[in-house]
With several copies, the nearest count.
Chain A
């Protein structure tokens, strides 16, 4: 694992990996389109699509008007017609205007017409906080997607796999929501030879072995979680760290299997607690893995309050110290 390794000067970042995946997708299938606000000439506010318009033209890398429902809605029409739109929503907090299209159509139309491959579209969404952004730029809206049936929701977490995960989503004929923890876009670098060529978008990934406890995380909590596991290891507690990767559906078998090893589980996420992915992990353990639990699972999330101003975000989110403490408590 290179997650917490010192930054390297060569190598590539998560942003690079995502950008390359988009390039590959545009290159391999002329029906693939990249659409979104400012994705063309500007290259997106995070510069993820930089250069793609010049390479593929403005009909394939499309600057959309500022209207998210129209963006997803026209994307649906294009997908029905056989195109494969990859839609960038500019920030997590601006997905809400598109929820009618996502919840009533993207999530239902395939079953409505009994055609699973009806909507080969991917919605990319920068998510998560700790970047001192203004209001509604640090959200974790995964629940809104996960609670919408038949949508597949995955989250990137590491530079070495982000590209392959995105390509798997793009190449799938099912609609995917692909979450990009924006804090991690350029935080870590991995060497080219470390890039993972293929990722199963339905499988959780064990990032660290450890027999004393299991920590379940995803997205922007992955590097934090690995740091907590190291901190716990420094105190002699070996913690396995599982990255969910797929938030909907959950890779239930892997979660249950890993939880059974120690029977001591901590789940941590940036999202608020209520109706969260993390709550579902606990529910899974309680209903299907009850017999293997050796103590109450611990759930660390942000409180059921709106994401606060930048000055207060560190207190709002579970920290490395919080998670380390929880690991120590379950392993005690």
Chain B
């Protein structure tokens, strides 16, 4: 799919910026962790398109419940870089103003945030608001009973929530094929009487169009959607992990060829003026991260 068929380039700038910023943050955090400035970092490289595609069209009144691997979304929702860094440094469990940014605290017990999103969304509906709630969880978390309970609640109460199941191939070391015998996870939606769809999570354009449908459904009061975003965790589970213990290097190479950032750039390549604008955005993002890093390091007494 190409982008320009349906939208002018300006419409894609936010997505481009968010994707770039997410990737750049990932690299920064990894570097800072290696330098001993952050305690631990859970890499998001490779998952940015699914994350940005499902959230870039949300408004400020909408809400996102992350798991713990969506820094790109946090930044796109306006969370300052330095606040994210404080989280990974072990300074604070929720350094950001979650209400202001519509980005809930990271949630450590996998899957337990899904019910919160359902309750929040149900609340918006009771209020008569047309706000939509997006919640992220993984292929591993999908095995948790609480996720089942939450999706069933959403079906019963018609909560305007979008379940984004990031199927990134692994729960730490366990491949999805051993997490469940079901070849596709979106089929679980039928078990709750809700809509379900599977999408190439490394194709931002495809993800965004699936999300648009889900958003329209939720805003219209027609209930929740489960989006299975098929992607790949290109890094380790966290910086404490060593993925070489459990996966073949060739697999990673395969997925590097499908890198969502590269693919999105390629999709935009034919758009007149893209290169210039992109270079500008790249510079802005880099400057922003540099500033935040300096501030962070000096706050830590390291600059």
Min Cβ gap B249→A in Å is 15
A45 within 8 A of B: yes
A168 within 8 A of B: no
Which of B7-15, B139-147, B278-286 lines the interface with chain A?
A: B139-147
Report yes or no: B116 in contact with A134, Cβ–Cβ below 8 A: no
Q: How far is the CA of A178 from the CA of B145 in the complex (A)?
A: 25
Contact of B153 among A74, A83, A111, A311 (CB under 8 A): A74
Report yes or no: B115 in contact with A76, Cβ–Cβ below 8 A: yes
Report yes or no: A63 in contact with B178, Cβ–Cβ below 8 A: yes
Q: Which residues of B in the span 208-241 have a Cβ within 8 Å of any Cβ on A?
A: 240-241
Q: How far is the CA of A310 from the CA of B37 in the complex (A)?
A: 13
Min Cβ gap A139→B in Å is 11
B179 within 8 A of A: yes
Q: How far is the CA of A93 from the CA of B112 in the complex (A)?
A: 12
Report yes or no: A70 in contact with B179, Cβ–Cβ below 8 A: no
Contact of B171 among A41, A66, A70 (CB under 8 A): A66
A37 within 8 A of B: yes
B152 within 8 A of A: yes
B22 within 8 A of A: no
Min Cβ gap B179→A in Å is 5
Q: How far is the CA of A310 from the CA of B108 in the complex (A)?
A: 15
Q: For the side of the interface on B, what is the size category? A: 35 or more
Q: Which residues of B contact A100 (CB under 8 A)?
A: 109, 112, 146
Contact of A78 among B109, B123, B146, B150 (CB under 8 A): B123
A186 within 8 A of B: no
Report yes or no: B40 in contact with A69, Cβ–Cβ below 8 A: no
Q: Which residues of B in the span 82-135 have a Cβ within 8 Å of any Cβ on A?
A: 89-94, 98, 104-105, 108-110, 112, 114-124, 126-127
A82 within 8 A of B: yes
Report yes or no: B94 in contact with A77, Cβ–Cβ below 8 A: no
Contact of A80 among B91, B119, B143 (CB under 8 A): B119
Report yes or no: A133 in contact with B174, Cβ–Cβ below 8 A: no
Min Cβ gap B142→A in Å is 8
B256 within 8 A of A: no
Q: Which residues of B in the span 12-26 have a Cβ within 8 Å of any Cβ on A?
A: none
Q: Which residues of A contact B116 (CB under 8 A)?
A: 73-74, 76-77, 80, 105
Q: For the side of the interface on A, what is the size category? A: 35 or more
B156 within 8 A of A: yes
B62 within 8 A of A: no
Min Cβ gap B199→A in Å is 22
Report yes or no: B173 in contact with A81, Cβ–Cβ below 8 A: no
**Closest A residue, CB atoms, query B109:** A104
Report yes or no: A93 in contact with B179, Cβ–Cβ below 8 A: no
Q: Which residues of B contact A76 (CB under 8 A)?
A: 115-116, 119
Report yes or no: A77 in contact with B121, Cβ–Cβ below 8 A: yes
Q: Which residues of B contact A94 (CB under 8 A)?
A: 109
Contact of B172 among A45, A70, A72 (CB under 8 A): A45
A101 within 8 A of B: yes
A43 within 8 A of B: yes
Q: How far is the CA of A312 from the CA of B159 in the complex (A)?
A: 38
Q: Which residues of B contact A136 (CB under 8 A)?
A: 108-109
Known contacts A38-B172, A100-B109; decide if A73 and B143 are in contact (CB<8 Å): no
Min Cβ gap B77→A in Å is 15
B200 within 8 A of A: no
Q: How far is the CA of A85 from the CA of B111 in the complex (A)?
A: 22
Q: Which residues of B contact A134 (CB under 8 A)?
A: 39-40, 90, 108
Q: How far is the CA of A66 from the CA of B109 in the complex (A)?
A: 11
Report yes or no: A104 in contact with B172, Cβ–Cβ below 8 A: no
Report yes or no: A65 in contact with B143, Cβ–Cβ below 8 A: yes
Q: How far is the CA of A42 from the CA of B122 in the complex (A)?
A: 23
Known contacts A65-B152, A100-B112, A134-B40; decide if A78 and B93 are in contact (CB<8 Å): no
B149 within 8 A of A: yes
Min Cβ gap B141→A in Å is 7
Report yes or no: A67 in contact with B90, Cβ–Cβ below 8 A: no
Q: How far is the CA of A101 from the CA of B123 in the complex (A)?
A: 18
Min Cβ gap B243→A in Å is 9
Report yes or no: B119 in contact with A69, Cβ–Cβ below 8 A: no
Most buried by A among B89, B109, B179: B109
Contact of A41 among B119, B141, B246 (CB under 8 A): B246
Q: Which residues of A contact B171 (CB under 8 A)?
A: 37, 65-66
Contact of A69 among B91, B92, B145 (CB under 8 A): B145
Q: Which residues of A contact B153 (CB under 8 A)?
A: 64-65, 67, 70, 74
B4 within 8 A of A: no
Report yes or no: B173 in contact with A73, Cβ–Cβ below 8 A: no
Q: Which residues of A contact B93 (CB under 8 A)?
A: 111-113, 135, 309
Report yes or no: A113 in contact with B98, Cβ–Cβ below 8 A: yes
Report yes or no: B90 in contact with A77, Cβ–Cβ below 8 A: no
Report yes or no: A73 in contact with B115, Cβ–Cβ below 8 A: yes
Residues of A near any B CB (own CB < 8 A): 37-38, 40-43, 45, 59, 63-67, 69-70, 72-83, 93-94, 96-97, 100-101, 104-105, 109, 111-114, 132-137, 309-311
Closest 5 CB pairs of A and B: A77-B119, A73-B115, A310-B90, A70-B149, A81-B123
In the complex, 5 of the A-B residue pairs with CB atoms within 8 angstroms, ordered by the A residue number, are A65-B174, A65-B180, A70-B115, A73-B146, A74-B153
Taking A67-B153, A74-B122, A132-B90 as known contacts, 9 extra A-B pairs with beta carbons closer than 8 A to each other, sorted by chain A number, are: A41-B246, A42-B245, A72-B115, A73-B119, A80-B119, A97-B144, A134-B40, A311-B89, A311-B90
